[in-house]
Amino acid sequence: MITQYKILIVEDDPTTALLYQGALRSISCELFLFSGIKPVLHQLGNEGLDKYDLLLVDLILPDGRGVDLVREIRKSDSQIPIIVISSESENQSIIQVMKENVQDYLIKPVIPKELSKKVEYHLSKRSFDYQKSILEKEKIISLEKLLDWYNFKNRSMDNREFNSQELHKNLFHVLRESLSQGAGFGILVQIIDIIRGMKQTENGDYILEKGILTILEENAEYSKKILNTFTEIENIIFGRVEEEVVSLETLWQEVVSLTKELYPYTQIKRQRFIFSDSESMKMESKNICWNRDYFRKVFRELLINALKFSKESSSVLLLLNLKQDNFSISVVNVVGEDLNIGKGIPNEYLDLIFEPFFRLTKNLYEKYETFDFGIGLSLVKETIQKFGGSVVVSNISDHLGESVEPKVEFKITLPHSSSLK
């Protein structure tokens, strides 16, 4: 028997409502159309929410704001899937409504295929899956707070109200302590350890359902990895990392070896790495200061990012440039269309991109097994700076092909025989 879903649509424009009806025709569902907040609340007051499986709500309605309707619905039902629809000029409205635990949103003009895909996906999910997705909603709304923080920090530094180095020490130290102790990730990790030590029933169950325990375990492992990254950043900032002098050739061979380890990720979008010609360079005569583990993390972060954010079937370039007093290694890639940011990184984000918790896109990249938490490039910056170098990101133009191609370059510059500051 085919399930007949019931979808409630709140849209005041008849033409747009017809578009939604056509887009959802392939789904076995019954549609209920309303043009405003008042008729919806009246209808729900008479029959309740139980008969509906999903809500599609426009954020601008003739008799009020869509977010107010969402709040009213959430008072009586915290699990029913809600998809909101907004225009591009309503970024703050999207951030506001995401805080009300909606499952998804679409930007006008709505693409019928995308609408159908999202509706099918959320209809297929079970209620406890949405509890897991709340963490992802928090990632989306964190951008607003980060921009406020970044502006405050810049104003304060311009007014010389505090020292930049001390600021970063305090920032990462406080964040790590907050996440590892008391509420937050620390409690989550402790609870999992306690549950694992409890007795099991004859059926192998713990005090929680197996499905819920699996979710908790996954989030606990995720939390531990994030805490470890904070510890690594803190170790760099406070000078707890051992240093070693090796030849530049050793570093370059390590980078080449790393690209081979990342081969499975290149197959996700049929990509490849291309290296600059280094055979003519006398790398063995140049010494550098490094920490192998941390430098591997740095270049792994840059290479994975390049693969994630590049086009299908594209190449990621690794360019080595050797000078008298320093050397540089650049990771260059073409920006993929799924970022929806144009042909490069917006200029206003070129500095912001290294800030902790900043994410240029809300997209998640589960196939690459990364945090998507906005702290990877912070580790890159702190590590390179502590070894006396610098890292910058730039939009560049590649003139080597038949046509000029815009690309993004992450460039690390380090002195020869550098040491920790």
Any idea where the domains of the chain sit in the sequence?
5-128, 163-237, 244-415
User: Which pLDDT value is given to residue 25?
Assistant: 87
User: Which pLDDT value is given to residue 418?
Assistant: 47
Model confidence pLDDT, tens digit, residues 154-163: 666 667 665 6
User: What is the three-state SS of the chain?
Assistant: CCCCEEEEEECCCHHHHHHHHHHCCCCCEEEEEECCHHHHHHHHHHHCCCCCCEEEEECEECCEEHHHHHHHHHHHCCCCCEEEEECCCCHHHHHHHHCCCCCEEEECCCCHHHHHHHHHHHHHCCHHHHHHHHHHHHHHHHHHHHHHHHHHHHHHHHCCCCCHHHHHHHHHHHHHHHHHCCCCHHHHHHHHHHHHCCCCCCCCCCCCCHHHHHHHHHHHHHHHHHHHHHHHHHHHHCCCCCCEEEEHHHHHHHHHHHHHHCHHHHCCCCCEEEECCCCCCCHHHCEEEECHHHHHHHHHHHHHHHHHCCCCCCEEEEEEEECCCEEEEEEEECCCHHHCCCCCCCHHHCCHHHCCCCCCCCCCCHHHCCCCCCCHHHHHHHHHHHCCCEEEEEEEEECCCCCCEEEEEEEEEEECCCCCC
**In Å, how far are 59, 74, 144, 392 from 154, measured between CA atoms?**
34, 38, 16, 18
Written as six digits, the tokens of 91 are 């970024």
Nearest to 231 by CA among 419, 379, 352: 379
Ordered strands of the 315-322 beta sheet: 272-275, 315-322, 326-333, 405-415, 390-398
CB atoms within 10 A of CB 335: 20
Nearest to 134 by CA among 98, 80, 166, 107: 98
User: Which pLDDT value is given to residue 398?
Assistant: 77
- 242 contacts 419 by C-beta, under 8 angstroms: no
Low-confidence ranges of the chain (pLDDT < 70): 1-3, 88-95, 126-158, 160-199, 206-216, 219, 336-343, 357, 359-366, 371-373, 401, 418-421
- 356 contacts 371 by C-beta, under 8 angstroms: no
Indicate the class that CATH gives domain 244-415.
alpha beta
Written as six digits, the tokens of 323 are 């000078």
User: Which pLDDT value is given to residue 132?
Assistant: 47
- 342 contacts 120 by C-beta, under 8 angstroms: no
User: Which pLDDT value is given to residue 128?
Assistant: 46
User: Which pLDDT value is given to residue 259?
Assistant: 97
Q: Distance of alpha carbon 81 from its chain centroid, rounded?
A: 22
Pairing of strands 326-333, 315-322: antiparallel
User: Which pLDDT value is given to residue 178?
Assistant: 52
For domain 5-128, which CATH number applies: 3.40.50.2300, 1.10.30.50, 3.40.50.300, 3.40.50.720?
A: 3.40.50.2300
Is the pTM higher than 0.85? no
